[in-house]
Structure 1
């Protein structure tokens, strides 16, 4: 595990205002969007039991998005590929139920390959975007991501007639105000940052309490003026529920060493009466190179819990113990 200082940055790292007031919104990199440091993710609320291990009913998914729209958060993340568009449908239903988006609210979604054929051509990107607009009930995207370009690779993504060219055309037409790229491999995401085509890069499962391999991407993007959005600070659940309940990290079975490290972190958090999830979330929120942190939600009460964890005070002594505990958690 890569290590770095876990201490609060100088000047007071807490970006939140006092409870009961509007949470601070900050400019998202070089875009004209202003977002909260917390973004609610909608990957699970469309229902993907094959990945997350449980399903989500449609009415629960819509109610969850309604709770997000009523919360201090103004940033929501979904994708055309989440549960074959069902996530976007539920987001759209919630937007309609609330009579439209609250002022300044930012909905980000992602273009995906055809779920049947795997086609990820420029034509498919346009189809994906058009279908997303219909499901969400929007006329344009504040932020539109290229999703998981690792499925075709950098050269194919950047080729004439490919997905990046199509995204740039959508931006030129005013359909997408800003473009982002969202994926896994750090070197690949860094290559997309270097193209100058993207204002935002989203990384997932690679900047958490137990894996900071995205640190090089955070620093590279900062030099390029590209905002970083960090998704999955709980690693798919294990850093929220603990290793005795969730035994997978980044959608794969966790090995014995990883389970041991998470158990040690959970024990140290418990010693300070800090929920494991609060420490995992605050670890991402307090990183100045991260513009916003995406946390998946699947129930209205889960939104409330995330808001509570985001405000949870973390003793300096706990950060020091987690920093010096070592990769083996001893």
Structure 2
């Protein structure tokens, strides 16, 4: 896989943004950078940088961030970590559609760090957001630019935000454009109605939630749109059903926990860790091109990279498919 651009309907390497890298893990996995933006708990700058550096050492070349992650902190830390790295050797994805604001709700200076973000799907908001991201990342271009979670106003996003994304792609400021949402139905609308290259689905292409298979994946295949899977642990229950029993950032239901425990027991019978199977499961579906896995520490990076090469028998996959 390699970084690529092009409009919906292109074929081969130009269909969507492929993940750059010469190793198997570099081809299939990207580092989700929400955790280094203080997701759940604060993280020191140096620790965040060390996590990204470890990902680079282990062959990860695709990095997914957003202004929303730490109100700019994730982008700034990622930019610091990749400074000096050959820009053509990495694929950077970030997002637009939210404005970084300070504690009083006022927009921060372009490229600044704030305390929160608010929705802004206007053309001016899109352009300003990208300008701020480029400054924080310390780069002159973005390989993949997603519209960030516009499920609350799909019609408005199609009317104002998508044309701005297309303009940026046409100008060469970004190579590919997409949309990232945690719900399949609104994301499928963008696949059908917008000239996107790739979409990111969070939490709906997992071992316990496969709703992306109902509409999104078939539509993506028909329209030649690539799919990136994120949220593969459903906020924690598929990483550690007992220690992190969360689903979509809320306490998981008893049924969800029991299902995850059943999957965990099935994996254990074959000597496989549940999160390793959960991270690789989406890659068994077309047209999923890559999986984004969040990590807060170098040890967490090592774990998911090591899991990418663990042998998973067909018999286990068949059992996991049955749920």
Shared fold per TM-score greater than 0.5: yes
In structure 1, the residue matched to 2:55 is: 68
Task: Name the CA distance, whole Å, in 1 between partners of 2:14 and 2:133.
Answer: 24
Q: What CA distance in whole angstroms lies between the structure 2 residues aligned with 1:277 and 1:267?
A: 12
Residue 207 of structure 2: aligned partner: 209
Alignment-derived partner of residue 193 in structure 1: 191
Alpha-carbon distance in structure 1 between the residues aligned to 2:155 and 2:17: 29
CA RMSD of aligned residues (A): 1.9
Change (3 A) 1:34 1:303: closer
Distance in 2 of aligned mates of 1:232 and 1:40: 12
2: CA distance, partners of 1:228 / 1:254:
26
Aligned residue number for residue 92 of structure 1? 79
- The 8 Å contact of residues 97 and 147 in structure 2, kept in 1 or not, is answered as yes
CA distance in 2, matches of 1:95, 1:261: 39
Distance 1:33 1:320 in 2: 28
Counterpart of 1:268 (choices 266, 269, 273) is 266
1:150 pairs with 2:151? yes
C-alpha contact 2:64 2:292 (8 A) present in aligned 1: yes
Residue by residue, what CA displacement relative to the aligned partner does 1:120-164 show, whole Å, maximum 9, x if unpaired? 31111111000000000111111111110113x1211122xx222
Residue 123 of structure 2 is matched in structure 1 by 122
**Structure 1: segments with no counterpart, 5+ residues:** 1-23
Which segment is superposed worse, 206-215 or 116-125? 116-125
8 Å contact from structure 1 (residues 37, 292) kept in 2: yes
For 2:189 and 2:119, locate their aligned partners in 1 and report how far apart those are by CA, in whole Å: 23
Conserved 8 A contact 2:144-2:176: yes
CA distance in structure 2 between the aligned counterparts of 1:43 and 1:238, rounded to whole angstroms? 18
- What is the aligned length? 292
String of CA shifts for 1:146-196, please: whole Å, max 9, x gaps.
110113x1211122xx22222222222221121111112212111111124
Shift, 1:299, TM fit: 0.8
2:95 matches 1:110: yes
State which drifts further: 87-96 or 279-288: 279-288
CA contact (8 A) 1:182 1:202 kept: yes
The 1:170–1:205 alpha-carbon spacing in structure 2 relative to 1, beyond 3 Å, is: same
Q: Aligned partners of 1:41 and 1:319: how far apart in 2?
A: 25
